Amino acid sequence: MPLPKSGSVFYLHGFVSSPRSTKVQYFARMLAERGVDLHCPDFNEPDFHSLTMTRMLHQLDAKLSAVGGPSTLIGSSLGGTLAILAATRFAARVDRLVLLAPAVMFGDPDRHLLPRERIEIWKSRGEFDFFHYGFGETRRLSYAFYEDSLKYDAFGTLFTQPTLIFQGTRDSLVDAKDVEQFAASRPGVALSLLDDDHQLINSLPGIWNGVAPFLGLE
């Protein structure tokens, strides 16, 4: 079975997630059935406490360089933010994007992980506890994550790669209206609104039906 027309395929997992998530395993299985390997960097490494978007970009840069050639980025939530930022920074190595409930407002102080009063607590303590679904337990994250995030404007980032976006209308973490506005202002971006929540688990078969031809894997 040949590689998809977009070369290597990467899955970029979301915040407090991991390469062992349900969506990663689903896409890995569907691609494997067609003879395609899925690369899924673990952005929790070397540790969750020191996670920043800048670190994630450096890690992805290294992984893209290692495989060579153009790649597809499938990004979920914060991984979708990463994919958007990478599309401009590593344009020659990113062929196309698939964004699942992308956190397009990442970096906006008013639309962040926590309300402002809790961010102040985060700042005063220097770290904050988040339940990490990948580890199944609470893990602490440095305030440097928040400070670093303010350097990035995913919503204002422009890119030219063909893109599919799948967004749940019942998403309580990412506002579907923000995603609609993001998609509407970019040619080459096709948005599918789904009757689903942030995880999009129930919609995975339908999402795959859109992704497969997009990757040349019909």
- The residue type of 172 is S
pLDDT digits (tens, 9 = 90+) for 114-125: 889 999 999 999
Nearest CA to 80 out of 146, 1, 144, 17 is that of: 17
Q: In this prediction, what percent of the chain has a pLDDT beyond 90? A: 90
Question: DSSP assignment, residue 92?
Answer: G
- Judged by DSSP in three states, 23 sits in helix
Residues 84 and 104: their CA atoms lie apart, in Å, by 8
Phi then psi dihedrals of residue 188, to 5 deg? 85, 0
In this predicted structure, the answer to whether residue 182 has a pLDDT above a threshold of 90 is: yes
Give the angle 166-57-24 at the CA atoms, nearest 5°: 40
**What residues contact residue 126 under an 8 Å CB cut-off, 6+ apart?**
142, 143
Give residue 1's pLDDT. Answer: 39
The 10s digit of each residue's pLDDT in 55-68 is 999 999 999 999 98
